[in-house]
Chain A
Amino acid sequence: MRSTIATGLAPVYWLGNAPYQFADWASGLFVSKDELQQENEDLRARLLILERRALKYAALAAENNELRRLMNSAEVLDDRVIVAEVVGVSPDPYSHEVVINKGLRDGVTPGQAILDAHGLMGQVVQASQLTSRVLLLSDSSHAVPVEVVRNGLRAILLGTGNPDALDLVHVPDTADIREGDLLVSSGLGGRFPRGYPVAEVSRISKEPGEPFVSIQATPKAELNQSRLVLVVFPPARPEVSDAGDPAGEGE
């Protein structure tokens, strides 16, 4: 029911975002040729660097898979992603949600993880035919299972309602954790794919007498700035996105 109405209301989202599309278009009109060439060259240079890194990565991934096969464990496949654009922000100032312009029609289903260029951003909570709603990491009802990349220490990262600070909870007083540690998604719980950067530990305060330390972390993703995001499709269930299509025919 909600998804049907939301599909009907897609033009409202489109209209709400129209001033920004128009501003983008208008600023695109007044770019000089030199600027474009300069930007093009910069992008080319950057592409070259990233391609070199990707080459090395391919070799490493192959080697990693080879080692895994030697150890008789399953091969790791790369996740498939599609690019989506943020077209709306939750009008409620106390909830951290955004609306993206990909929906059931593109195979997006609730529960999928959302990334931006820097790290994990959140997860899809509702999907209609053309748009879906994403709950951000910083919402006070959101939690991600993470691990410290340095030593594999596992913990839960909770949102606080503040886009610049997350809480790492239930870490014992004696645990080996330092400021500046990178937290990546641990993949436990099966909702988020493993190994994407989530946050960086920014402040640790030990209080004598408390069983747990209180740890604050800064999200890696630019939660309130990114306009282009990636929707991750877990490799193990490509049939899920196919199963979404028959439901789409019945709209």
Chain B
Amino acid sequence: MLSVISYPVFVLSVVLALVLSISLFPVGWFEFRPEWLGLVVFYWTFRAPAQFGVLLAWCLGLLLDVLEATPLGVNALAMAAVAFLVLTIHPRLRMYPLPQQCLMVFLLLGINQMLVHFVKQLLGADNTGFSYLWPALTSAVLWPLVCGLLDHINQKLG
């Protein structure tokens, strides 16, 4: 838990995550695009559980819904679930070494992806097997980087 947090950094990280989650890449990479907003929600509820929680995660998920043109509320629900789970396991999560944190990121964002995928399936999307879990995996790989970077900026500016 950080003693000080910088709100401008929070806003900036959210905008950056939104831009990255719609930015253009070669078509083949789309499947592996990390769940940037999920990482940001995870980071901020992990680092500052008193300030950021389920409601804010829900609002951010709603923005992602609009950007991705999914039915309103799907990503919102999934993001709220991530925030809730982070808050639930927070005391243990702080004690975990980095590799174990990565595992938790994979699990929680995997749950996020699964929820979104379930709703899409109900609405008639193609069944693509377990490939919808790729974003959770790439996010877990990126977690040390994102966490370290945001920590560093936070300590400089906070």
Taking Cβ atoms with an 8 Å cutoff, the residues of A that contact B are: 1-2, 5-6, 9, 12-13, 15-17, 19-20, 88-95, 97, 125-126, 133, 140-141, 161, 224
Contact = CB atoms under 8 A, between A and B. Distances in A.
Contact of B30 (A93, A125, A133): A93
B27 interface: yes
Contact of A16 (B19, B62, B70): B19
A240 B148 CA distance: 53
Nearest to B17: A12
Contacts of A17: 24
A93 B117 CA distance: 12
B24 A90 contact: no
29 contacts: A2-B72, A5-B66, A6-B66, A9-B18, A9-B66, A12-B22, A15-B15, A15-B19, A16-B22, A16-B23, A19-B23, A88-B24, A89-B22, A89-B24, A90-B68, A91-B21, A91-B22, A91-B33, A91-B68, A92-B30, A92-B69, A92-B70, A94-B125, A94-B126, A94-B128, A95-B125, A97-B69, A133-B69, A140-B126
A94 to B, nearest CB: 5
B2 interface: no
A141 B67 contact: no
Interface of B: 15, 18-19, 21-24, 27, 30-31, 33, 62-63, 66-70, 72, 124-126, 128
A160 B18 CA distance: 29
A1 B71 CA distance: 12
Nearest to A20: B24
A5 B62 contact: yes
A12 B18 contact: yes
B150 to A, nearest CB: 19
Interface residue SS majority, chain B:
helix
A146 to B, nearest CB: 23
A93 B27 contact: yes
Contacts of B27: 93, 224
A13 B86 CA distance: 30
Nearest to B70: A92
Contacts of B128: 94
A5 B15 CA distance: 14
Contacts of A97: 69
Contacts of B125: 94-95
Contact of A9 (B33, B63, B72): B63
Contacts of A125: 69
Top 8 A-B residue pairs of the complex, sorted by shortest distance between their CB atoms: A93-B30, A5-B66, A16-B23, A15-B19, A16-B22, A12-B18, A93-B31, A16-B19
Contacts of A91: 21-22, 30, 33, 67-68
Nearest to B64: A91
B69 A126 contact: yes
Contacts of A13: 22
Nearest to B24: A89
Contacts of B19: 12, 15-16
A5 B70 CA distance: 13
B68 A9 contact: no
A115 to B, nearest CB: 21
A90 B126 contact: no
Contacts of B31: 93
A2 B68 CA distance: 11
A12 B63 CA distance: 11
B131 to A, nearest CB: 9
